[in-house]
A and B are shown apart, each in its own frame.
Chain A
Amino acid sequence: MEASRVIHAIYTDDDVLMSAVKTVRSEKHHIEEIYTPFPVHGLDKAMGLAPTRLAITAFLYGCVGLTVAIVMMNFIMIEDWPQDIGGKPSFSYIENMPSFVPIMFELTVFFAAHLMVITFYLRSRMWPFKKAENPDPRTTDDHFLMEIAVHNNEDSLTALLQETGAVEINIVDKDEDAH
């Protein structure tokens, strides 16, 4: 495979990393991935990643939650076992709607939040019992790792990364099964 050989450049500061990302990209190298111990503000824009569509899914999940709440409460409180709510025995969903608003709100939030997190995990290829892809455990502590594909240009790339302030540069053969 083409990307089987990659360079791992390790940084110790997020500001240095940010300017390195900009330099590397201006030199037309493709950054495969960056591993950071914490979310770095603006990194996605600097890397040129497409904006996330997670917000759209959150809105859709919220709509699903709202619908579930309405259908559920209509079935439970109006159809299956009609209830006299607050001394107003109208047995109509719309007339009793204010008392269902807290449930509608909660389920909207519940669905949006949980399904969004699950979507995020799946989209990030994380699921239970998955082996960690993280190439270097130090990126969970205080190091930042930039992964760049190599196409017979190890020397120039190494020199460039050195210049951007990388503290460590390793060329590794990637295990192809990992992806």
Chain B
Amino acid sequence: MEYKISNRLRIFAIVLIILGAIGVTSGFISSKSYETVEDVKELLASEAHHGDAHEADAHGDAHGEAELHGEEAHAEEGHKMSHEEHVLHQIHNRPYAALYVAAFFFFMIALGVLAFYAVQYASQAGWSPVLFRVMEGITSYVLPGGVILLIIAFVADSHLFIWLTDGMTTVGHDNYDALVAGKSGWLNKTGFFIRGAVFLAGWSAYQYFSRKFSVAQDNADINDNRNFKKNFRISAAFLVFFIYTESIMSWDWIMSVDPHWFSTLFGWYLLAGMLVCGVTTIAMIAIYLKSKGLLEHVNDSHIHDLAKFMFGFSVFWTYLWFSQFMLIWYSNIPEEVTYFVTRIEDYNLPFFGMVAMNFVFPLLLLMNSDFKRVNWFVIMAGVVILCGHYVDIFNMIMPATVGDRWFIGIPEIGAILLFGGLFMLVVFTALGKYPLLAKGNPFIKESKNFHY
């Protein structure tokens, strides 16, 4: 049952990291090639030559956006930023945003697994203990992933979080924004990082102790369930802490990139996405380890249950996505609906493509009971779900930072490779630290014999 990260996998992960780092660096370098408004004018002029359709499109969008910005936010101060300057900002924001999206995506997988794992303990689930070590391995990415994410947020500053722009909260300043100023009691740099540190500390403390008790339970006497009981208690406490902090985290780390807009179910929406990605990753890694002849107690019924969760959480995600969309679409209040107007106009393909990938695809593919037991089928559905949820995060961050100048190109793919490689390296190294069967768990026999 011992597992050690193979050299091939380690080298593969390191190669991904290096390739990713090259992509990210080249993204930063190429964004720096536009230094002044003059460069942007040249760029826009050359783009205008590309074709009539595109030209008309770009102009229409740019106008719409400029008008929105003018009306909505800066009307009272007579905002003076030219279109070219705006585009320049977007070009400079792009590599940061690309990095942030990928970093958040992989961090969110680990965090989703952590919540799922805590639910297993708090509900004293009998089916899942054979998968606990896989989950513990994935959650070891919470701390490094979270720290990196906060560092990116710190360095990117106003490239990602427009409310950090100088003068936004100073009355009379050119950049003054009454709405952001009104929220500055919450949205300020100090508060942001204090909250971030508290969240990360809480989550990784739970991660650390739950793993410690889980391993201690393996080595304890057969009649000694104290470590299991401790884990039960801290899991219940963690879930209470998590549901508050996860919500607040979603406002801080994601929703605040559009500081004028807010949605009261955003925390749930993000949580649903996290859980789908987390469960999908558990299933994929479990299937991978099984293909290596490990995890002999994980049978098709366990995979079936994970696939049921993938299906269920996908539908749950869609429910929340649609609830958020439909209420805002229906009421059509300008300050709310701009959020979806930009997404439908400038992000039409990713916005609706993501619904197909995250809802229609898993719905049709995973509906049949027998398909949920076919391992390669689960992997295939999982790949689409993960891609779909990457696009989901992309749609949350990009419209606010790069506007209509988005593309999934070298900076984005580089960032995915970089964090994907890091994620693999951290997770599979952690998987090798302890035996893959949590043999001391009091429910382990039930889990081994689990069948549907």
Counting residue pairs across A and B whose Cβ atoms lie within 8 Å, the total is 18
**Within the complex, which residue of B330, B367, B369 is in contact with A98, where a contact is CB–CB below 8 Å?**
B330
* Interface of chain A, main secondary structure: helix
Whether A101 and B322, one on each chain, are in contact in the complex, defined by CB atoms closer than 8 angstroms, is: yes
Asked if A59 is at the interface of the complex by the 8 Å CB criterion, the answer is yes
Whether A86 and B322, one on each chain, are in contact in the complex, defined by CB atoms closer than 8 angstroms, is: no
Which residue of chain B has the shortest Cβ distance to A55 in the bound complex?
A: B369
Whether B325 and A98, one on each chain, are in contact in the complex, defined by CB atoms closer than 8 angstroms, is: yes
Query: Which chain B residues border A55 with CB–CB below 8 Å?
Result: 369
- A98-B332 contact, Cβ under 8 Å, with A55-B369, A59-B367: no
Interface size on A, residues (CB 8 A): 9
Asked if B329 is at the interface of the complex by the 8 Å CB criterion, the answer is yes
- A101-B326 contact, Cβ under 8 Å, with A86-B332, A87-B332: yes
Asked if B123 is at the interface of the complex by the 8 Å CB criterion, the answer is no
Asked if B331 is at the interface of the complex by the 8 Å CB criterion, the answer is yes
Whether B331 and A86, one on each chain, are in contact in the complex, defined by CB atoms closer than 8 angstroms, is: yes
CB contact list, B312-360 vs A, under 8 A = 322, 325-326, 329-332
Q: How far is the CA of A87 from the CA of B332 in the complex (A)?
A: 8
1/0 per residue, CB under 8 A from B, across A89-111: the answer is: 00000000011010000000000
**Within the complex, which residue of A59, A87, A88, A98 is in contact with B326, where a contact is CB–CB below 8 Å?**
A98
Of B322, B329, B330, B367, the most chain A CB neighbours within 10 A belong to B330
Query: Which chain A residues border B369 with CB–CB below 8 Å?
Result: 55
Q: How far is the CA of A101 from the CA of B369 in the complex (A)?
A: 26
CB contact list, B47-96 vs A, under 8 A = none
Q: How far is the CA of A99 from the CA of B331 in the complex (A)?
A: 11
CB contact list, B16-74 vs A, under 8 A = none
Measured CB to CB, the closest approach of chain A to B228, in angstroms, equals 27
Measured CB to CB, the closest approach of chain B to A32, in angstroms, equals 27
Query: Which chain A residues border B331 with CB–CB below 8 Å?
Result: 86
Q: How far is the CA of A134 from the CA of B329 in the complex (A)?
A: 56
Q: How far is the CA of A101 from the CA of B321 in the complex (A)?
A: 13
Whether B367 and A99, one on each chain, are in contact in the complex, defined by CB atoms closer than 8 angstroms, is: no
Measured CB to CB, the closest approach of chain A to B362, in angstroms, equals 15
- A99-B330 contact, Cβ under 8 Å, with A55-B369, A59-B367: yes
Measured CB to CB, the closest approach of chain A to B196, in angstroms, equals 35
Whether A99 and B326, one on each chain, are in contact in the complex, defined by CB atoms closer than 8 angstroms, is: yes
Query: Which chain A residues border B326 with CB–CB below 8 Å?
Result: 98-99, 101
Measured CB to CB, the closest approach of chain A to B342, in angstroms, equals 17
CB contact list, A28-70 vs B, under 8 A = 55, 59
Query: Which chain B residues border A101 with CB–CB below 8 Å?
Result: 322, 326
Measured CB to CB, the closest approach of chain A to B137, in angstroms, equals 32
Q: How far is the CA of A114 from the CA of B189 in the complex (A)?
A: 55
Query: Which chain B residues border A98 with CB–CB below 8 Å?
Result: 322, 325-326, 329-330
1/0 per residue, CB under 8 A from A, across B156-174: the answer is: 0000000000000000000
Q: How far is the CA of A86 from the CA of B327 in the complex (A)?
A: 10
Query: Which chain B residues border A87 with CB–CB below 8 Å?
Result: 332
CB contact list, B361-401 vs A, under 8 A = 367, 369
Measured CB to CB, the closest approach of chain A to B300, in angstroms, equals 14
Query: Which chain B residues border A86 with CB–CB below 8 Å?
Result: 329-332
With A86-B331, A87-B332 already in contact, 13 other A-B pairs whose C-beta atoms are closer than 8 Å: A55-B369, A59-B367, A86-B329, A86-B330, A86-B332, A88-B332, A98-B322, A98-B325, A98-B326, A98-B330, A99-B330, A101-B322, A101-B326
B residues with CB within 8 A of A: 322, 325-326, 329-332, 367, 369
A residues with CB within 8 A of B: 55, 59, 85-88, 98-99, 101
- The list of the 7 closest CB pairs from A to B, nearest first, reads A86-B330, A98-B326, A98-B329, A87-B332, A86-B332, A99-B330, A101-B322
